[in-house]
Amino acid sequence: MRLTRPSIRVDAVVSGYRSTWNEGSRSYAPVYRFTSDGAQHEVVEAVYSGAQKPDLGTVVALRYPAGRPDLAHVPRPLMWLTVYALLAGLEAVLLANMMGWLPE
């Protein structure tokens, strides 16, 4: 669905933090609040950190598929570029192995 619908950009405000314990230390994820299509929405960041960042009240740009503001997230193009590069490299190694181009 994320690839078939247009992406909507919205500015959200950090309104709080959700916390959890991770390996004996506390981790935090910002809670973003924004208004879209006349309704107020709140989403929790999927990535947790050891610090409460960004600061409360900070405005952050989010993206979500049209009609699904509950899927709003911080765009991370560098992270996805890295993931795709690693997958392409793995595919190249597997292809080279299947073709017998790698030494045994």
List of the chain residues with pLDDT < 70: 1-3
| pLDDT at residue 41, as a whole number | 97
Q: Are 64 and 75 in contact, with CB atoms under 8 Å apart? A: no
Please state, in angstroms and rounded to a whole number, the distance separating the CA atoms of residues 33 and 91. Answer: 40
| pLDDT at residue 103, as a whole number | 86
- The upper half-sphere exposure of residue 90, i.e. CA atoms within 13 Å in the direction of its Cβ, equals 6
For 23: left if phi > 0, alpha if psi spans -120 to 50, otherwise beta; the answer is left
Token code pair at residue 36: 């879209």
What does the pLDDT look like over 29-56, one tens digit per residue? 999 999 998 999 999 999 999 999 999 9
Answer yes or no: pTM beyond 0.85. Answer: no
